[in-house]
């Protein structure tokens, strides 16, 4: 990995960047769907055109290979194009009209409601997805789609890539007709803290560690005018394997688990970090056999490389934890090797704060349980997660397990493994604390809802209404009028 010096943004530079965003905000808010969609597609096209240059920079800075990085650029530009379609389709506006009715009690005025952009948005880049959750990633795409300029705080793990991506996207937006100040970049921890506290910034999106996210969350809420902070923080993503599933397809499930928790060297936020398995089913042995041939690799940053063995050591300090596969002493090398650990449900219930803490890297914890009640008690100890997975067989009584998993996660899987997040209209990538700081998603079409606020016009002259609330526009946009939903 090549180290690039962070260019710490000064307070004077930050104020200038934020002022430019403030001046751009009314133009973004007033832009038409056609204009905004064109701006988003222009950014996507520019990134696709620069893919060779960007992947070369990213490979130097992130230790990720070109195949993964090229795929991630495709996901990033796909997100931008999805949100262009969301803007054109129009239902995200939640257009709602109540016609005036003087005969009602009390008399009802005419009310016209829509969602509008909140204003300048701060976005904090992630380390593990240098494109898809970074400068031009999902938070930026959804905030722009909502009609807001964006100021990105670059991640220290890939500063050169952040700068170049920001240059390409900002230039593409302006060339397509968007105002100056539509997208900008700041660097350094102090600048990030100041950004989330700046009175012009109206919301923030974050993907990263629980500690870093919580600190920013507290800053956002400690402002004289608190703002929404949408953080994706920590997630252990529990998996449950029933006795029937282990008996019917244990070998297949073991292979799938190993492939999933080692994907991307275990650095996906949806990695299955804790897996509940029936005691005595032989599943641990199956996982050990497959993990023995699994390939490790370098971790993203020096900080992550140092933290990985420390996380494993914390787990091994618990007397209940055993090594199933791997060599923990090799975890901190430049090519981190997969590690499988095991414990039992009673220990998880007794010490969830120790055994259920996320460990970033290629490690998973198998939790043995002795029956439905033992499993249910342990699942209740699991913190909120992005995903939960249930592998069962027809005829299994999983009603209680499923009820618990639905309370614990934002996405419940019944086949496959969680390390794959499709960017679609129906996707949800969020969950109860500490997975996220809100109930909203950071992936998929409804991610746009984070950066919008309701606004109602009462008895407004037609000429002063936003274009999308006028009757001519309503004839071609989804809306609700006097309680009746219309989809042209």
DSSP string, 417-444: -SS----SSS-----TTTTBSSSS-SSS
For the chain, the straight-line distance linking the first and the last C-alpha, in angstroms and rounded, comes to 53
Whole-angstrom Cα distance, residue 44 to residue 169?
8
Report how far residue 330's alpha carbon sits from residue 362's, in angstroms, rounded to the nearest whole number: 12
Distance CA 133, CA 117 (A): 21
**Dist. CA 148–CA 180, nearest whole Å:** 12
Cα 433 from Cα 383, distance rounded (Å): 7
Q: If we measure between CA atoms, which residue out of 343, 367, 373 comes closest to residue 277?
A: 367
Backbone angles phi, psi at 290, to 5 degrees: -75, -35
Whole-angstrom distance, CA of residue 90 vs CA of residue 95 = 9
Q: Among the options 59, 72, 232, 284, which is catalytic?
A: 232
| SS3 label, residue 486 | strand
- Of 449, 386, 470, 411, nearest to 116 by C-alpha is 449
CA distance 299 to 127: 11
Q: Could you tell me which of 27, 257, 53, 296 has the C-alpha nearest to residue 147?
A: 27
Residues of 294-303 as b/e, b for ≥16 C-beta within 10 angstroms? bebbbbbbee
By C-alpha distance, which of 390, 365, 119, 377 is closest to 240? 390
Closest of 431, 446, 427 to residue 115, by C-alpha? 446
Crossing angle of helices 33-49 and 159-175, rounded to 10° = 140
As given in the structure block, the two tokens for residue 360 are 């970033």
Peptide bond into 106 cis (omega under 30): yes
Residues in the chain: 488
The position carrying tokens 């991307």 is 264
Which of 61, 72, 187, 269 is the catalytic position? 269
Instruction: Specify whether the CB–CB gap between 207 and 437 falls below 8 A.
Output: no
The verdict on whether 269 is a catalytic residue reads yes
Measured in degrees and rounded to the nearest 5, phi and psi for residue 41 equal: -70, -35
Residues 181 and 119: their CA atoms lie apart, in Å, by 12
Which are the catalytic amino acids? 232, 269
């Amino acid at each position: 990995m090549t180290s690039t010096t962070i260019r710490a943004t000064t307070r004077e530079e930050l104020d200038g960047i934020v002022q430019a965003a403030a001046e751009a905000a009314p133009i973004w808010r007033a832009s038409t769907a056609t204009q905004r969609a064109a701006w988003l597609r222009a950014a996507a096209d520019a990134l696709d055109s620069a893919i060779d240059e960007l992947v070369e920079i990213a490979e130097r800075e992130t230790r990720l290979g070109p195949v993964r990085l090229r795929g991630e650029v495709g996901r990033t530009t796909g997100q931008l194009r999805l949100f262009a379609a969301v803007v054109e389709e129009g239902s995200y506006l939640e257009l709602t009209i109540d016609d005036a009715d003087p005969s009602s009690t009390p008399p009802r005025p005419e009310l016209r409601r829509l969602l509008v952009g909140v204003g300048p948005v701060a976005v904090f880049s992630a380390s593990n997805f240098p494109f898809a959750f970074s400068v031009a990633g999902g938070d930026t795409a959804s905030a722009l789609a909502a009609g807001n300029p964006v100021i990105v705080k670059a991640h220290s793990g890939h500063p050169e890539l952040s700068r170049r991506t920001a240059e390409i996207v900002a230039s593409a937006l302006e060339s397509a007709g968007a105002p100056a100040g539509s997208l900008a970049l700041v660097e350094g921890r102090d600048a990030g803290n100041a950004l989330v506290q700046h009175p012009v910034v109206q919301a923030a999106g974050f993907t990263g560690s629980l500690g870093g996210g919580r600190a920013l969350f507290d800053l956002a809420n400690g402002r004289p005018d608190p703002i929404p902070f949408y953080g994706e923080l920590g997630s252990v993503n529990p998996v449950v394997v029933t006795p029937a599933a282990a008996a019917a397809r244990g070998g297949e499930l073991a292979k799938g688990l190993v492939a999933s928790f080692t994907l991307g060297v275990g650095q996906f936020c949806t990695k299955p970090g804790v897996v509940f398995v029936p005691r005595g089913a032989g599943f641990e042995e199956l996982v050990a056999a497959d993990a023995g041939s699994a390939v490790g690799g370098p971790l993203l940053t020096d900080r992550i490389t140092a933290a990985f063995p420390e996380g494993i050591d914390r787990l091994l300090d618990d007397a209940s934890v055993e090594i199933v596969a791997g060599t923990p002493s090799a975890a901190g090398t430049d090519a981190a090797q997969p590690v499988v650990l095991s414990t039992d449900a009673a220990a998880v219930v007794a010490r969830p704060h120790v055994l259920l803490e996320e460990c970033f890297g290629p490690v998973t914890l198998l939790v043995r349980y002795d029956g439905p009640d033992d499993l249910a008690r342990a699942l209740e100890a699991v913190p909120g997660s992005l995903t939960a997975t249930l592998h069962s067989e027809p005829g299994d009584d999983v009603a209680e397990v499923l009820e618990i998993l639905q309370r614990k996660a934002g996405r419940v899987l019944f086949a496959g493994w969680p390390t794959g997040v499709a960017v679609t209209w129906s996707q949800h990538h969020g969950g109860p604390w500490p997975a996220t700081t809100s109930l909203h998603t950071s992936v998929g079409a409804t991610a746009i809802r984070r950066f919008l606020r309701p606004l109602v016009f009462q008895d407004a002259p037609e000429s002063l209404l936003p274009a999308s609330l006028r009757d001519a526009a309503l004839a071609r946009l989804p809306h609700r009028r006097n309680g009746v939903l219309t989809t042209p």
